[in-house]
Amino acid sequence: MQFQPIFDKKRPVLIAGPCSAETEEQVLATAHGLVRLAEKPTIDLFRAGIWKPRTRPGAFEGIGTPGLKWLRRVKEETGLRVTTEVANAQHVYECLKYGVDVLWIGARTTVNPFSVQEIADALEGTDVPVLVKNPVNPDYKLWVGAIERLHKAGLRRIAAVHRGFSTYGDSKYRNVPRWQMPIDLMQEFPDLEVICDISHICGRRDILAETAQKAYDLNYDGLMVEVHPTPDVAWSDAAQQITPAQFVEMIGSVIRRAVTTDDPDFQEQIEQFRHQIDELDEEIIHLIAQRMHLVREIGYVKKDKNVAILQPERWRALVEACHHRAEKNELSREFTNLFLEAIHQEGIEQQERIMNDGVAAAEVPSRGLWLDD
Ligand code: PEP
Ligand code: MN
């Protein structure tokens, strides 16, 4: 798939505005606040949700079509391009009627191929730019699939928005970022613009700046940030919104670094480190392979004695010991959990193959392979 840019060459692209359009005054106050304060940096797109997909019923579900007139006023009075979320064909037709410049597909819609297809069909024959948020669940193919449906409808000005993934239990983030997925997307589609929605990743104000810095350091094309004149009394997502002044201050505090440099010193230093990293990666793979070899040996013993694969007590003790070691070595708990989960999952699958496939030890093809170089 090939894409055309939605935004001009200036980087970072900045998209800002309230979570929801609440009143005409609130929408206009936000837009004027951003324009007035934001000579540098000026924003590239003004956002406001008109139809709001809320997790629980009874919450504010959006102002609906009357809000589109407010967005039109924002355009007329500030010259900013505007964007809102669409979840079905009717939303698309309303937006086209009122001249909304860019549409976005929300995380709860990207998960549903029927809805995405309906939106793509409604847009066929236009060249309206569309931002596609990641689905709420970390499903890379579903995200790419939504982009593909729009592309098949003839749209080319498409960008992706990374807003993190739902989680259950304790996390620093409202939606865990899983940075590798947008990185994979950038690698697979180098001409696709990718924006980081730090507000929905963080869910809280105090970690917005560090998350924006992270996004800059990963070379995102830009940021989407929820901005509200009086965030504490916002009708949706109050805890994560910031004022126009706080937005400008935050953007001023994050550092946009060069993608790369030709400086020979830099190249030499980085080469040396990369060489060491390559060696370590090779060692890591060998070590994991050795570990899996032992896991398979245990699989044969369990099969022999008819003992279940999952041993919760043992696993709990192992995780605890690793947390302890990881902490001493400056590895985050989040990373350690992800790493151990992946190891555990692979171990279980390898033992399952041994238990259930009736394959004799000598016939397991990968057995002993780690010894080869
Ligand atoms: C939003 O941008 O306000 C929104 C509802 O986002 P998401 O689809 O990412 O939850
Ligand atoms: Mn929101």
- What's the average pLDDT block by block, 10 residues per block, for the chain (373 residues)? 94 96 98 81 92 87 96 96 98 98 98 98 97 98 98 98 94 96 97 98 98 96 98 97 95 88 89 95 97 95 91 92 94 93 94 79 43 37
CATH class of the domain comprising 13-253: alpha beta
Amino acid at position 106, single letter: G
How far, in Å, is the centroid of ligand 2 from the Cα of 236? 6
First and final CA of the chain: distance in angstroms? 38
**CB 180, CB 338: distance < 8 Å:** no
Question: φ and ψ at 77, to 5 degrees?
Answer: -85, -25
CA distance 88 to 61: 15
pLDDT of residue 58: 85
3-class secondary structure, 271: helix
Single out the residue of 279, 302, 292, 285 nearest to residue 368, CA to CA: 292
Please report the atom of ligand 1 found closest to the CA of residue 133.
9
Choosing from 15, 19, 110 the residue with most ligand 1 atoms within 8 A of its CB, the one to mutate for a pocket test is: 19
pLDDT of residue 229: 97
pLDDT of residue 368: 37
The set of protein residues with a Cβ atom below 6 angstroms from ligand 1 is 19, 49, 53, 106-108, 133, 163, 197, 200
Which residue, judged by its Cα, is nearest atom 8 of ligand 1? Answer: 106
Please report the atom of ligand 1 found closest to the CA of residue 53.
5
- By CB neighbour count within 10 A (0-12 exposed, 13-18 middle, 19+ buried), where does 91 fall? buried
pTM for this structure?
Answer: 0.79
pLDDT of residue 9: 84
Please report the atom of ligand 1 found closest to the CA of residue 52.
5
Single out the residue of 313, 307, 296 nearest to residue 347, CA to CA: 296
CA distance 373 to 369: 9
Please report the atom of ligand 1 found closest to the CA of residue 107.
8
pLDDT of residue 365: 47
pLDDT of residue 367: 37
pLDDT of residue 366: 45
**Domain positions in the chain:** 13-253, 264-372
Which residue, judged by its Cα, is nearest atom 9 of ligand 1? Answer: 107
Choosing from 163, 165, 236 the residue with most ligand 1 atoms within 8 A of its CB, the one to mutate for a pocket test is: 163
Please report the DSSP string for 128-165 in residue order.
--EEEEPPSS--HHHHHHHHHHHHHTT---EEEEE--B
**CATH 2.70.70.10 is held by the domain 264-372:** no
pLDDT of residue 11: 86
pLDDT of residue 56: 85
